[in-house]
Amino acid sequence: MRVAKLSSMMHKYWWKILVVVLLLYVGSYGFLVQVPNPPGVPLQQSIRNLFFHVPMWIGMMVLLGTSLVYAILYLRTPSVKYDIYSTAYATTGITFGLLGITTGAVWANYQWGQPWSGDPKQNGAAIALLIYLAYFVLRGSMTDDEKRARISAVYNIFAFFMLFPTLWILPRLTQSLHPGGQGSEGNPGLNPKDSTMAMRSVMYPAFIGWTLLGVWITTLKIRTQLLIEKNVSHE
């Protein structure tokens, strides 16, 4: 009986167990794995921030993309559930974005001598986050639930597609301290030539682990909000 119960729990919570295992691996081996230190590029140990900084942006894109999907679903079939899901994923996504820009500033302080240098990638990230923060201001400015959900869903679509010019397109068209700017190869946020096979063995699990953690946090927020809505409807 106990074995069957344990097997059932493993089947139900396997992905949460995976989150814990992956982040324990990243948080331990990430500080032990050998990192490159190419001549003329004093990365030293700061490159280990790659396991924390970049996954925040990857997680943010996944979470905000999921929020976009539920916003579209709400516009097609208005439902309180879709609005709750969309808002919850947007909240966690923007939190990951704030963590991404913070870890980036810490890295920049060591690598470029100051936390904020007005780099196009930094400025674009700040603009993208401000656009999404306006999403929450917009929601807070309306009291009618249906109107708030509908307008928020429309704005959510606009905000998501503004991520592409601010984070991925414009930084590639200008000179940037990030790899992948004008005149260089690779993506502005991640250049494969800057990492080794050993680093990628930590980096890819970090992408999965941090993103799944964001999903886990969001599901808890959704469950809480659904319980609140249920209690309000019974009053």
Tens-digit pLDDT profile for residues 133-184: 999 999 999 999 999 999 999 999 999 999 999 988 887 787 777 765 555 5
Q: Which of 57, 100, 83 is nearest to 211 (CA)?
A: 57
Q: According to the model, what pLDDT value does residue 157 have?
A: 97
- Estimate the crossing angle of helix 145-161 against helix 120-140, to 10 degrees: 170
Read out DSSP for 99-151? HHHHHHHHHHHHHTSSS----HHHHHHHHHHHHHHHHHHHHHT---HHHHHHH
Residue 180's contacts (CB-CB under 8 Å, 6 or more residues apart) are 171, 172, 186, 187, 188, 189, 190, 191
Alpha helices in the chain (DSSP H): 2-29, 53-76, 80-111, 120-140, 145-161, 163, 170-173, 197-234
73 has a pLDDT exceeding 80: yes
DSSP state for residue 39 in the 8-state scheme: T
Q: Mean pLDDT in the chain?
A: 86
Q: Where are the domains of the chain?
A: 48-234
pLDDT digits (tens, 9 = 90+) for 123-135: 999 999 999 999 9
For tokens 């139900």, the residue is 12
Instruction: Supply φ then ψ for residue 10, to 5 degrees.
Output: -65, -40
Do 193 and 186 form a contact (C-beta atoms < 8 A)?
A: yes
Give the three-class secondary structure for 31: coil
- What is d(CA 151, CA 71) in angstroms, rounded to the nearest whole number? 10
Q: Are 86 and 70 a contacting pair, CB within 8 Å?
A: yes
Closest C-alpha among 20, 54, 12 to residue 209: 20
Q: What does pTM read for this prediction? A: 0.88
